């Protein structure tokens, strides 16, 4: 046996001589593990020199020779090096201008019988290399099933920082999404979906920061007809993406056709900002229900909106829309200018669907920064902070009672909200309460107090209040930054008593 001599020849770069010697040893005793190792490492050195798509045929031949050696999985150092080289060739094939996916098929066929060491960093690199063609490669799902998602490493669940500073999606999330997409394209996919679901459930539970797995879980449940569990699976994702029309379109699919919640979701979809070219199918679903419920002006309005877009784009009209446009009711019905009133009618119902299980809290507005569309509030049990309201509220004033569904607790003092609306006019709350008593005005300061209620200089000046007068009004709790506490402050004064 010439293992050491072969190794020295390899290090010296004399691969032809090393191959001849290793092959001779192997032919003499093919079951000897040292002879197998010696020849395998020569093959590896040859493989390492082949890293372009043009060299794939030679790469393929050497890899086939390695497979014939039947080295055991315990040769983890060797198999680790082989995985890196296979991954590099996979990347090279996909970078090639021809991007011949049949060669990716051939490469996959070659590696299936290999007893590679797993899990390992090199095995994850192999997955990453084939992941690049997940959308276009027909054997992607088969590859993932062979690779085994249970072999993902802890690092595969972490996002990577790109050279430009952006963070990429974790490999585990990429694979889960891509594999789910492939399952959705397959006929008779129930068994594979059910096999995949425990992994997806665990992924969602362990990594709630991943945005898209809940969405694909919902899609997969819909695909196998499990509508009962779709809604709860899809809800976390839908809350994050509530501004996208297709979220509401998908939510509508979780309800029966005659369920008003389905209609509310379709209407809410049409309140989202979206290019009109994308809304055709949503409008068709809504128009179908409107026709069935004899809301014909509204139905014609939707049909006309579809027809206008399709005509402008030069698209063939959807068959249902074409058929409706020829019916007598359509010819005799006058369309509305738009259906915005209809959409808004169901807006509260739609938001109740999405956020009904999130408790609504009443808070009082303590201060308003109109330039930034931010209000500062105080709520029950000392809760206080800032909240960006944007266009969701109009004419916000200090002292207004606001109904809020908070999306998360805040560590910084700035909160986010799922929903934010003005509380009904007749709402009563301890956050707004009357006060009455004699005012004490601090000399040379301009402000005063009625017991514990702070009265700012502007109110004192506005009503020409003097020290010792009896006044009454409305007060609210207010956050005092200097004293780091909540105190009462007056927001309105009735006519002072003489």
Look at 292 and 228; give whichever has higher pLDDT.
292
For the segment 56-87, what is each residue's pLDDT rounded down to a tens digit?
A: 999 999 999 999 999 998 999 999 999 999 99
DSSP 53: G
Residue 176 burial (10 A CB sphere; 0-12, 13-18, 19+): buried
SS (H, E, C) 166-208: CECCCHHHHHHHHHHHHHHHCCCCHHHHHHHHHHHHHHHHHCC
Distance CA 316, CA 56 (A): 45
Residue 497, pLDDT > 70, answer no
**Domain at 358-422: CATH code:** 2.40.50.140
pLDDT greater than 70 at residue 179:
yes
For 130-153, letters b (16+ CB in 10 Å) and e give bbebbeebebbbebbeebebeebb
CA nearest 119: which of 143, 83, 85? 83
Q: How many CA atoms lie within 13 A of 413 on its CB side?
A: 7
What's residue 337's pLDDT?
96
Judge whether 257 and 227 are in contact, CB under 8 Å: no
**Does pLDDT of 386 surpass 90?**
yes
Whether the CB-CB separation of 430 and 410 falls below 8 Å is answered with no
Strand order in the sheet with 470-480: 433-438, 470-480, 485-493, 453-455, 448-450, 440-441
Whether residue 498 is predicted with pLDDT greater than 70 in this model: the reply is: no
The whole-angstrom separation of Cα 144 and Cα 158 is 19
Confidence label for 15 from pLDDT (cuts 50, 70 and 90): confident
Q: Per-residue pLDDT for 51 more than 60?
A: yes
Average pLDDT over residues 216-231: 85
Confidence of residue 392 (pLDDT cuts 50, 70, 90): confident
Q: Locate the DSSP E strands across 265-416.
A: 361-369, 374-378, 384-388, 401-406, 414-415
3-class DSSP state of 32: coil
Residue 254 clears pLDDT 60, i.e. is over it = yes
pLDDT of res. 407: 81
Angle of helix 15-28 versus helix 3-11 axis, rounded to 10: 160
Flag the least confident range among 79-83, 92-96, 452-456: 92-96
Burial 289-313 (b: 16+ CB within 10 A, else e): bbbeeebbebbbbbbbbbbebbeee
**Predicted pLDDT at 42:** 93
Place of tokens 């027809």: 307
Laid out side by side, the sheet with 384-388 consists of 414-415, 384-388, 374-378, 361-369, 401-406, 417-422
CB of 40 within 8 A of CB of 69? yes
What pLDDT does residue 302 have? 97
493 upstream amide cis, omega within 30 of 0: no
Q: Class of 433-493 per CATH?
A: mainly beta
Provide mean pLDDT across the span 243-248.
Answer: 91
Average pLDDT over residues 157-182: 92
Does position 468 have pLDDT exceeding 70, yes or no? yes
Query: What's the whole-number average pLDDT of the chain?
Result: 91
pLDDT value at residue 458: 93
Distances (CA, A) of 314 to 10, 142, 277, 305, 325: 66, 39, 11, 14, 18
Q: Which helix (H) or strand (E) holds 317?
A: none
**C-alpha dihedral (264, 269, 273, 277), degrees to nearest 10:** -140
Q: Does the pLDDT value for residue 496 go beyond 80?
A: no
pLDDT at 268: 96
pLDDT for the residue numbered 225:
83
Q: Mention every residue, 6+ apart, whose C-beta is less than 8 A from residue 76.
A: 117, 120
Length of the chain: 498
Backbone torsions φ then ψ of 367, nearest 5 degrees? -160, 150
Q: How many percent of the chain have pLDDT more than 70?
A: 99
Residue 117: DSSP 8-state: -
Per-residue pLDDT at 334 exceeds 80: yes
pLDDT band at 208 (very low <50, low <70, confident <90, very high): confident
């Amino acid at each position: 046996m010439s293992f050491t001599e072969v190794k020295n020849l390899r290090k010296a770069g004399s691969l032809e001589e090393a191959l001849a010697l290793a092959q001779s040893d192997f032919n003499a005793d093919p079951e000897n593990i040292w002879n197998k190792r010696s020849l395998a490492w020569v093959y590896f050195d040859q493989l390492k020199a082949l890293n372009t798509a043009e060299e794939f045929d030679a790469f393929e031949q050497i890899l086939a020779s390695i497979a014939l050696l039947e080295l055991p999985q315990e040769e983890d150092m060797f198999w680790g090096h082989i995985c890196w080289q296979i991954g590099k060739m996979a990347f090279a094939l996909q970078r090639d201008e021809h991007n011949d996916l049949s060669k990716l098929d051939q490469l996959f066929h070659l590696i299936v019988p290999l007893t590679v060491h797993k899990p390992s960093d090199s095995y994850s690199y192999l997955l990453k290399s084939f992941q690049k063609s997940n959308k276009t490669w027909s054997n992607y799902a088969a590859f993932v099933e062979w690779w085994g998602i249970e072999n993902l490493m802890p690092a595969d669940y972490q996002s990577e920082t790109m050279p430009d500073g952006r963070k990429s999606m974790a490999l585990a999330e990429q694979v889960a999404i891509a594999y789910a997409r492939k399952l959705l394209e397959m006929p008779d996919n129930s068994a594979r979906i059910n096999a995949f679901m425990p992994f997806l459930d665990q992924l969602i539970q362990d990594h709630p920061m991943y945005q898209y797995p809940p969405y694909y879980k919902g899609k997969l449940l819909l695909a196998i007809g499990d509508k009962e569990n779709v809604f709860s699976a899809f809800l976390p994702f839908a809350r994050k993406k509530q501004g996208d029309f297709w979220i509401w379109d998908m939510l509508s699919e979780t309800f029966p056709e005659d369920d008003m919640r389905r209609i509310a979701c379709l209407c809410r979809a049409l309140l989202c900002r979206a290019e009109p070219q994308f809304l055709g199918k949503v409008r068709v679903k809504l128009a179908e229900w409107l026709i069935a419920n004899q809301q014909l002006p509204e139905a014609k309005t939707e049909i006309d909106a579809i027809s206008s877009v399709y005509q402008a784009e030069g698209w063939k009209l959807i068959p249902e829309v074409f058929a409706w446009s020829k019916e007598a009711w359509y010819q005799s019905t006058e369309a509305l200018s738009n259906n915005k009133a209809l959409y808004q009618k169901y807006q509260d119902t739609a938001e109740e669907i999405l956020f009904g299980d999130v408790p609504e809290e009443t808070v009082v507005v303590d201060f308003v920064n109109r330039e930034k569309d931010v209000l500062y509030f105080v709520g029950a049990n000392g809760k206080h902070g800032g909240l960006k309201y944007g266009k969701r509220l109009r004419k916000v004033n200090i002292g207004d009672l606001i109904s809020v569904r908070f999306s998360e607790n805040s560590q910084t003092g700035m909160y986010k909200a799922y929903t934010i609306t003005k509380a009904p006019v007749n709402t009563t709350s301890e956050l707004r309460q009357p006060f009455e008593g004699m005012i004490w005005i601090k000399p040379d300061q301009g402000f005063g107090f009625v017991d514990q209620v702070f009265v700012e200089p502007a109110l004192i000046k506005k009503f020409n209040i003097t020290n010792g007068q009896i006044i009454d009004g409305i007060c609210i709790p207010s956050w005092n930054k200097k004293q780091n506490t909540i105190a009462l402050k007056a927001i309105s004064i009735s006519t002072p008593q003489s």
